[in-house]
Structure 1
Amino acid sequence: MTIDITGLPHERITFCPSPLAELGNALHALSEPAHHPRQHAWTTATSAALKPELADRLHEADFMWRSTRSDFLIPAQPRETLAEELDDIDRFDDEKFVGSALEISCSTAHYGRGLPSPLVDEQSRRRALDLAAARGPRQAAFVERVLADPAGMRAWIRRLLEDCDEAFFGDTWRRVRFQLASDARHKSELLRRKGLAEALASASPALSLEEDAHGSRIVVDKLVQGRTSAQGTAVTLIPTVFGWPHLTAVYGPGWQPVIHYPAAAHEVGGTEPVDLVRARVEALAHPMRMNMCRSLARGSYSTSELADAYAITAPEVSRHLAVLKKAGLLTTQRRGRYVLHQLDFPVVARLGSDFLESVLR
């Protein structure tokens, strides 16, 4: 997906931590602990310590952060405190708040298309209620209350987030905020001294700057298609500890672009480009190439040896090897007049985590 920043001064591109954004990621980690193996100790201890009443309320509202974070949880103008950011949410009109709260999981307003919220569009309303009902009677009742009394439910959600802050997030934020502030300062200094391309690459290998005769764009390498423009507004980049491996972007109509990137160092996977991961999976999906990999995993083979082993012609072997090599799955070495091929074990061993990281990104 792309964010058009043509003509946008670099001082309108900011790196800044956000307590609300980190709380949203922490709630997501509690809902989907399998996405966040690094946080296993924290999610286990925090879940065990939750009072049943708070756990029930979190379950009731978890569609706002389970699959991805609702837009209002990723503020375009981060503040020093959670209370200040919640005050900013209170200034949203009901349509913007409800649309952002329900859009991802409970609305027909497909993200990025700018369709009306369920408060003003009957089709979106019915779809939101149907999707909530599919998740169980508790969420169905919750969405009905949101649509019937937006102001009352906005206050209910604020109390829920404040109770989370008191129960567990306040201590967590005090622990991680200095790391996030340090990360943001480092990226801001890179932006000032070396330019936006360096700052983006430092934030995530999945972020890059694309410049040509048509203008400048921030490119976010994700398995999603979308585009927006920051012209006349700004771009905010928010570091997160709890967010890895997700790289979240707010790009819907009417919202200032925001990128929520993992500040933690990657220990699993190589943050490979999505196209490269796709090419590797497709290369291995072919039955003949899968069979050839069995031999290539056990030793080095020449083209003629593979042709003899699998009873196919040398040109056919060469075509299959070319696909595997283009995907970066082979190593080659010359021995006399022969070129020997072998499976690249570290790359293949990492493919599962690369795939998982790319689909969760």
Structure 2
Amino acid sequence: MSVRIDITGLRQEQIAVVTSPLAELGMALHALSEPGHHPRLRGWATGVTCDLDPHLADRMCEADFLWRTTFPDLFLPYAGLPGGNALPGATLAEELDQLDKLSDEQFVDTALEFTCALPYDDGGPAALTDAESRRRALELAAARGPQSLLFSERLLADPPRTRAWLRHFLEDCDAAFFADTWSRLHHQLAADARHKTDLLRHKGLAEALASVSPAVTLDEAADRITVDKLGEGRTATAGSGLLLVPTSLGWPHLMVLHRHGWQPVLHYPVGSPEMAAPLSLEQLTLRMTALSHPVRMRLCRSLARSAFTTGALAQSHGMTAPEISRHLGTLKKAGLLTTRRRGRYVLHQLDVTAVARLGSEFLEGILR
């Protein structure tokens, strides 16, 4: 499985390696909402959380499904601007202005990304204007709980009001903690961008992509970039450019914006994670055996991002509930799952801290 980018006709001057404060703010919100994905940020996250104004913390929870289990393209708004060659703004304020330039249809569709309700690679009717797309979006939002349903209803009923709420919230996050964080991270990210740009100019795109991640490869004969991920996708530059955007807070997530009609973006992590202490041989063998099945690897990808019932997993993976239960039992026996009861439902979720102890490569693979 992979995400493929057709770069036929792409010229070197159309490729840019650039920093993005808005993208990094999105990763900051994700790391605060899902600290298990980012164990090396535990100290930073604890410090921010302890100093956070309670009212801002409540607002952060109001729509945390936007950044907890996915990374909506609204944090990369420049990729959706007309012309297909816009660059990120130099400041967060400039990028928020770019976010304001997206149409209401674009904003709603990207904000509804957490429901997986709409065609992504090929485009399709907008939820704001198409009744069936709206119905499907609200149905999937309801499956994720009353909070996501309420947000989706408000978003579809009054996009300008929701846009204003989001901008004000992001500005308050900047004032509360992100401006200081960005001032410390920007130099590292800018240095990495300069390094990748030098590689691009002097050694070519293949070398630059290899330095991004071993999971990113260039087939020059086919004019295609392939990103090895536990997911399928495709896009094309088709006259637009290609952006490479580094993140410090985002490890281990390697993401590809491949939305239909948008400029492709590779959002890649820089730096190296701290290694965990080794497990006992017996426990390591048990866990590696549990993870050796491709179906369980795909389940891990879902369970790393959110908690699911057995029935929901069966539906999304096209399997029967008993089949899913057997795989979940194997993962649970290996100590890789946490479970909790919510009413009459039992929710399962991957223990990413336990998985991280197996080594960064597997965790990076399922979270890529």
**TM more than 0.5:** yes
1:59 corresponds to 2:66:
no
Question: 2:218 aligned with 1:209, yes or no?
Answer: yes
1:170 deviates by: 0.5
Q: Which residue does 2:160 correspond to in 1?
A: 151
Match of 2:104 in 1: 94
Matched residue of 1:65: which SS?
helix
Assess if the C-alpha contact under 8 Å between 2:230 and 2:365 holds in 1: yes
Paired residues of 1:106 and 1:127 also in contact (CA < 8 A): no
Q: Is the 8 A contact 1:107 1:118 kept in 2?
A: no
Aligned to 1:30: 32
CA shift for structure 1 position 72: 1.5
Q: Matches of 1:247 and 1:28 in 2, distance apart?
A: 14
Could you tell me whether the CA contact under 8 Å between 1:16 and 1:237 is conserved in 2?
A: yes
> What residue number does 2:265 align with?
258
CA distance in 1, matches of 2:34, 2:148: 17
Unpaired runs of 5+ residues, structure 2, are: 80-86, 277-287, 295-355
Query: What is the match of residue 128 of structure 2?
Result: 119
Give the Cα–Cα distance (whole angstroms) in 2 for the partners of residues 281 and 14 of structure 1: 42
Aligned partner (choices 226, 244, 248) of residue 241 of structure 1: 248
Distance in 2, matches of 1:164 and 1:120, equals 32
User: Distance between the aligned counterparts of 1:281 and 1:356, measured in 2?
Assistant: 16
Q: Deviations over 1:220-279 (max 9, x none)?
A: 11111111110200000000001100001100101110010001124449xxxxxxxxxx
Distance in 1 separating the partners of 2:203 and 2:292: 40
Residue 227, structure 1, aligned to residue 234, structure 2: yes
Distance 1:353 1:186, change over 3 A: closer
Say which SS state the counterpart of residue 125 (structure 2) adopts.
coil
CA contact (8 A) 1:116 1:124 kept: yes
Question: Structure 1 pair 211/266, CA: closer, same or farther in 2 (3 Å)?
Answer: farther
Given the alignment of the two structures, is residue 181 of structure 1 paired with residue 157 of structure 2, yes or no? no
Which is worse superposed, 17-26 or 217-226? 217-226
Deviation at 1:161, TM superposition (A): 0.5
Is 1:165 the counterpart of 2:167? The answer is no
For residue 223 of structure 1, give the secondary structure of its aligned residue in structure 2. Answer: coil
Instruction: Single out whichever of 45-54 and 170-179 deviates more from structure 2.
Output: 45-54
- Superposed, which structure 2 residues align to 1:1-361 within 5 Å? 1-74=3-76, 75-76=78-79, 77-103=87-113, 105-212=114-221, 215-268=222-275, 352-361=359-368
Question: Bigger radius of gyration, 1 or 2?
Answer: 1
**Distance of aligned partners of 1:123 and 1:162 in 2 relative to their CA distance in 1, 3 Å threshold:** same
RMSD across aligned C-alpha pairs, in angstroms? 2.1
Residues in 2 aligned to 1:42 and 1:255: alpha-carbon distance in whole angstroms: 33
Q: How far apart, CA to CA, are the structure 2 residues paired with 1:95 and 1:47? A: 34
Instruction: Say whether the 8 Å CA contact 1:107–1:127 is kept in structure 2.
Output: no
- The TM-score with structure 2 as length reference comes to 0.73
| Pair 1:352–1:198, CA change in 2 (3 A) | same
Deviations 1:78-109 (A, max 9, x none): 11100001101111110011101112x22521
Call closer, same or farther: CA 1:281–1:255 in 2, change over 3 Å: farther
What SS is found at the alignment partner of 1:219? strand
Q: Does the 8 A contact of 1:107 with 1:125 survive in 2?
A: no
Shift in alpha-carbon separation, 1:225–1:258, aligned structure 2, 3 A: same
Q: CA–CA distance in 2 between the matches of 1:120 and 1:285?
A: 42
Q: Please list the CA deviations of residues 125-160 of structure 1 after superposition, one character each: whole Å capped at 9, or x if unmatched.
A: 122222333333333222111101001111111001
Q: 1:285 to 1:169 in 2, by over 3 A?
A: closer
The answer (yes or no) to whether the contact 1:72–1:97 under 8 Å persists in 2 is yes
Change in Cα spacing, 1:4 to 1:57, as seen in structure 2 (3 Å) is same
CA drift at 1:350: 7.8
Which 10-residue stretch deviates more, 28-37 or 114-123? 114-123
Amino acid at match of 1:254: G
- Look up the match of 1:305: none
Question: Comparing both chains, which one has the higher relative contact order based on Cα–Cα distances under 8 Å and sequence gaps of 6 or more?
Answer: 2
1:52 corresponds to which letter in structure 2? P
Mapped contact 2:275–2:359 kept (Cα < 8 A): no
Higher mean alpha-carbon deviation, 152-161 vs 72-81, is at 72-81
SS in 2 for 1:68: coil
Query: Residues 106 and 239 of structure 1: is their aligned pair in 2 closer, same or farther, counting only changes over 3 Å?
Result: same
Q: Distance in 2 between matches of 1:207 and 1:124?
A: 33
Paired amino acid for 1:99: D
Name the SS for the 2:211 alignment partner: helix
Shift of 1:123: 2.3
Would the aligned equivalents of 1:64 and 1:101 in 2 still touch at CA under 8 Å?
yes
Instruction: Say which is worse superposed, 53-62 or 236-245, in terms of deviation.
Output: 53-62
Structure 1 spans left out of the alignment, 5+ residues:
270-279, 287-348
After TM superposition, the score normalised by the length of structure 1 is 0.75
